[in-house]
């Protein structure tokens, strides 16, 4: 067990995963896959600092398309705050397209 833990911690350090950095997940859902992806691409373009992975599509849930971005960062409040600003600015267009968004710092699951 100690060898596994040592190896896992080293991999997490190298790749920038917890406990060495924080994750910020931005999840967008909507009726049209293209709208969901476009919204996340716009958020990604507005985020600075940290590694941003995605947008990555997820399985549909209750007939809605879903996709996510995951940012690896040492400054989760700043990244989550910036994502919130970008989503707030896009809120009228997102409402019109039927999109919803959630920003989650250090999510329990991806």
All structural domains of the chain: 21-105 (3.30.70.260)
Nearest to 36 by CA among 99, 83, 84: 99
Quick check: 19 pLDDT over 90?
A: yes
Rounded to an integer, the average pLDDT of 52-78 is: 96
User: How far, in Å, CA of 79 to CA of 43, rounded?
Assistant: 11
Closest listed residue to residue 24, CA positions, set 94, 86, 91, 92: 86
Confidence of residue 15 (pLDDT cuts 50, 70, 90): very high
Which tens digit of pLDDT belongs to each residue from 24-63? 999 999 999 999 999 999 999 999 866 999 999 999 999 9
For range 77-87, the mean pLDDT: 97
């Amino acid at each position: 067990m100690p060898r596994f833990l040592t190896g896992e911690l080293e991999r997490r350090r190298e790749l920038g995963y917890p406990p060495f950095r924080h994750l910020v997940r931005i999840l967008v859902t909507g009726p049209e896959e293209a709208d969901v992806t476009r919204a996340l691409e716009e958020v990604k373009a507005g985020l600075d600092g940290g590694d941003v992975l995605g947008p990555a599509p997820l399985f549909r849930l209750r007939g809605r398309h879903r996709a996510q971005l995951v940012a690896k960062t040492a400054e989760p409040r700043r990244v989550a705050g910036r994502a919130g600003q970008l989503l707030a600015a896009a809120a009228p267009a997102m409402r019109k397209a039927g999109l919803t968004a959630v920003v989650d710092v250090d999510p329990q699951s991806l």
